[in-house]
C-alpha cells in the first residue's frame, strides 16, 4: 500500500498545526484536548512544516527543566530536521524510516506542500491489511478457489 491510499482511508479532518511562536502549554493543551501525540509547526497555515512537536519532546524537557518549560516557544523545543514522505512512498519505506529515526509521525509532502500526516499506527494498520489480503489470496490458491 502507498501513503496516498492510507491518507484517503483516514477519518481525520486534517493535520493540527501551530505557529512557531506559540507556547508549549498551548501545544500540550491541544494535544490533550484532541487526543493526539504530535503537532506540526508551520508559520504559513500548514502548507510548509517548519518542525514537529511531540508529546515525547515535551516530556523530555519537563524532565530536564521542570514545569517552566511550558512557557517556552514551540520553536525552542520542536524537531526542525523533519523526515518526510511522499504520497507514492510505500508502507514498508515509511515504517523503515520511522523505526530508524525512532519517531512515530511523518508529514506527507507533495509538490513542496504538506498534504497530510501519517503515524506509525496508520502504517502498521495498512501493512496488516496488506498481509491479510496476501494470506487470503494464498489460502484461496491452496484451496483451489
**pLDDT score at 115:** 92
Q: What burial class does residue 21 get, using C-beta atoms within 10 Å of its C-beta: 0-12 exposed, 13-18 middle, 19+ buried?
A: exposed
Cβ atoms of 38 and 104 within 8 Å: the answer is yes
Q: How many C-beta atoms surround the C-beta of residue 31 within 10 A?
A: 18
Q: Are 25 and 71 in contact (CB under 8 A)?
A: yes
Residue keyed to cell 523530555: 60
Q: Which three cell numbers stand for residue 126?
A: 495498512
Domain of residue 13, CATH code: 3.10.580.10
pLDDT > 70? residue 11: no
Reported pTM: 0.84
82: left (phi over 0), alpha (psi -120 to 50) or beta: beta
The DSSP 8-state label assigned to residue 70 in this structure reads G
Q: 38-41 and 17-18 as β-strands: parallel, antiparallel, unpaired?
A: parallel
Range(s) of the domain holding residue 109: 3-143
Whether the predicted pLDDT of 15 surpasses 90: no
Number of domains the chain contains: 1
89, HSE (Cβ side, Cα atoms, 13 Å): 23
What is the pLDDT, as a whole number, of residue 37?
A: 92
- CA angle at 19 for the pair 73 and 71, rounded to the nearest 5°: 20
Average pLDDT of every residue of the chain:
91
What does the block give as the cell for 114?
A: 504538506
Looking at residue 129, what is its pLDDT?
82
Tens of pLDDT along 49-90? 999 999 999 999 999 999 999 999 999 999 999 999 999 999
Count the neighbouring beta carbons within 10 Å of the beta carbon of residue 12: 12
Amino acid at each position: 500500500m502507498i501513503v496516498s491510499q492510507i491518507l484517503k482511508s483516514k477519518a481525520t479532518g486534517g493535520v493540527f498545526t501551530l505557529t512557531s511562536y506559540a507556547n508549549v502549554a498551548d501545544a500540550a493543551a491541544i494535544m490533550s484536548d484532541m487526543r493526539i501525540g504530535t503537532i506540526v509547526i508551520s508559520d504559513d497555515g500548514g502548507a510548509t512544516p517548519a518542525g514537529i512537536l511531540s508529546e515525547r519532546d515535551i516530556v523530555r524537557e519537563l524532565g530536564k527543566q521542570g514545569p517552566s518549560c511550558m512557557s517556552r516557544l514551540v520553536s525552542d523545543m520542536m524537531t526542525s530536521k523533519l523526515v518526510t514522505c511522499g504520497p507514492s512512498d510505500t508502507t514498508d519505506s515509511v515504517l523503515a524510516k520511522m523505526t530508524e529515526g525512532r519517531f512515530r509521525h511523518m508529514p506527507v509532502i507533495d509538490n513542496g506542500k504538506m498534504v497530510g500526516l501519517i503515524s506509525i499506527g496508520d502504517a502498521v494498520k495498512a501493512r496488516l491489511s496488506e498481509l491479510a489480503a496476501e494470506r487470503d489470496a494464498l489460502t484461496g490458491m491452496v484451496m483451489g478457489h
